[in-house]
Amino acid sequence: MFDSLDETMKHDAEKETTPRERILRYVVTAVISIVVVGGLLLSIRLLE
């Protein structure tokens, strides 16, 4: 009866997104993370 806000938001998110959209979101997040970390590592190596 008294769901927490977190549980309600998770339940609503599951209704709004398809599994394909969720996977795509994770893939895009991973690619962006790799590019950012790679850019930082490259800039550090160029400064040496």
pLDDT, tens digit, 9 for 90 and up, residues 22-45? 899 999 999 999 999 999 999 999
Alpha helices in 1-48 (DSSP H): 5-16, 19-47
pTM comes to 0.62
Q: Is residue 30 part of a domain?
A: yes
Q: Is residue 23 part of a domain?
A: yes
Residues of the chain above pLDDT 90, percent = 52
Q: Residues for the chain: how many in total?
A: 48
Domain total of the chain = 1
Q: Is residue 10 part of a domain?
A: no
Domain that holds residue 43: 19-48
Phi and psi at 3, nearest 5°, equal -75, 145
Unique residue bearing structure tokens 């490259």: 42
Residue 1: pLDDT over 60: no
Unique residue bearing structure tokens 């590592």: 41
Q: Is residue 14 part of a domain?
A: no
Q: Is residue 4 part of a domain?
A: no
